Chains A and B, each alone.
Chain A
Amino acid sequence: MILPMAALLLGVAAGRLFLPLQWMGGVDMLISISLSVVVLAAGVDIGEKKILFRKLADYHARILAVPAGTVIGSIAFGCVLGKLLGMPLNESAAVSAGFGYYSLSAGVLSDLGGASLGPWRLCPIYSGSCWPF
């Protein structure tokens, strides 16, 4: 927990103090590349744990109550909050759909959202309902 936070804060400080504006494209590329590497490695990690798939069969569909509840609850409450804050529904749903994968969701949103998500796309870095990393 401390190490990821330190990496983020170090990045913010370095970006504020040293980063030339013309290097922002390079930063975007670094985000894309590291995101791809993390996602591939996470996939290998999941595929290796065949026991997870066996557990899924043992508990039948009921075990999906946890992920389904997380998805429904996060997005529903996020959308209500977005409505209160005057955000478009698709943006608040996208920001709420990170489910704690802050390293993944913020990267994907910056990739997808571009200017259309405006300053809101900076939010997902804080959002999420669990902290798997």
Chain B
Amino acid sequence: MLHIFVLVVAGIAIGWLAEGKERLKKLFVAAGKVQQAGTLVLLFAMGLWLGGNQEFWSNIGTLGLNGFLFAAATVTGSALCVYLLVRLLFRREGKA
């Protein structure tokens, strides 16, 4: 888990330091492409993991329903909370 944070921070530091340097422009193009390709590989690998997992196939109905419920609950919760917070914080500013 820790290595994830280390990698994000290292990536931000590299991006921060390399920004504006003409010679390193290719680095950012590469980073974008690597991110897209890496995401596809990651999703494919997670698909492999799911597909080869017996537990997944024997619970697919429940998992699908619960996954959908979690998606719906988190989308609703975050949209509602952001809407209320933005209204609260930015409307005051507008009136001032």
Contact = CB atoms under 8 A, between A and B. Distances in A.
A40 B39 CA distance: 12
Contacts of A41: 11, 31-32, 34-35, 38
B46 A45 contact: no
A106 B70 CA distance: 13
A43 B77 CA distance: 27
Contacts, number: 261
Interface in B52-75: 52-53, 55-57, 59, 62-64, 66-71, 73-75
A17 B57 CA distance: 12
A126 B82 CA distance: 21
Interface in A73-98: 73-78, 80-81, 85, 95-96, 98
A48 to B, nearest CB: 4
B42 A31 contact: yes
Interface residues of A, number: 80
Nearest to B3: A36
A21 to B, nearest CB: 7
B96 interface: no
Interface string A42-63: 1111111110000000000010
A103 B44 CA distance: 10
Nearest to B5: A39
Given A24-B52, A129-B78, A37 B38 contact: yes
Contacts of B18: 44, 47-48
B22 to A, nearest CB: 14
25 contacts: A11-B44, A14-B44, A16-B51, A16-B52, A16-B57, A21-B52, A24-B53, A31-B42, A41-B34, A44-B27, A47-B12, A47-B18, A62-B93, A65-B82, A69-B78, A69-B81, A77-B74, A77-B77, A78-B70, A81-B73, A96-B77, A123-B63, A126-B71, A128-B71, A129-B79
Interface of B: 1, 3-4, 7-19, 27-28, 31-32, 34-35, 38-53, 55-57, 59, 62-64, 66-71, 73-86, 89-90, 93
